[in-house]
């Protein structure tokens, strides 16, 4: 019997081991999905387990490096953001997105930095990208609404000042 750690039915194993006549494995689609759902620590733990089970598996090693890098980029960005260093936080989230461009949380975090820096249009773009990946991501929806309101308000203000 095959059992994925994440209870899917995929047979695309990264690695497998036998435990009480059951093949336990970590499948590649689940590892990628966990990382994209932004459960960073869970993705790192699953990739570490996969490498522990089969240290020679190249794809498992690559996923481990990727999940560690993306997780560290998020942690660094969050620390910079917490201390008001928004340019550094933006750069850190962008580094993580270079490695994993389909990460909705990193996109939404980068949008938060752009909001703090007054880059409303770019923040809307990041929120739109995050929402394409996770349509029900409420934080991205709220940030997008806030940025859109500011962009609209700014255009009204410019029109009023210049009598357009």
Q: What is the pLDDT of residues 43-92, one digit of tens each?
A: 677 777 777 777 777 777 777 788 889 889 999 999 999 999 999 999 99
Provide the whole-model pTM.
Answer: 0.70
Q: Describe the crossing of helices 104-116 and 138-161 by its angle, rounded to 10 degrees.
A: 30
So where are the chain's domains? 2-102, 120-164
Could you tell me which residues come within 8 angstroms of residue 116 by beta carbon, excluding any fewer than 6 positions away?
81, 86
- CA 41 vs. chain centroid, Å, equals 12
């Amino acid at each position: 019997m095959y059992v994925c750690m994440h209870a899917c039915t995929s047979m695309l194993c990264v690695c497998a081991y036998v435990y009480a006549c059951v093949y336990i494995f970590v499948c590649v689609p689940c590892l990628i999905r966990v990382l994209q759902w932004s459960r960073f620590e869970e993705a790192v733990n699953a990739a570490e387990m996969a490498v522990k089970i089969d240290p020679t598996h190249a794809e498992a090693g690559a996923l481990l490096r990727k999940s560690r890098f993306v997780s560290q980029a998020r942690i660094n960005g969050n620390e910079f953001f917490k201390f008001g260093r928004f340019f550094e936080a933006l750069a850190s989230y962008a580094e993580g997105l270079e490695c994993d461009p389909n990460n909705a949380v990193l996109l939404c975090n980068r949008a938060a930095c752009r909001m703090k820096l007054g880059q409303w249009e770019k923040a809307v773009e990041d929120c739109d990208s995050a929402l394409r990946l996770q349509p029900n991501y409420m934080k991205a929806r709220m940030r997008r609404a806030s940025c859109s309101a500011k962009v609209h308000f700014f255009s009204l203000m410019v029109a009023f000042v210049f009598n357009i």
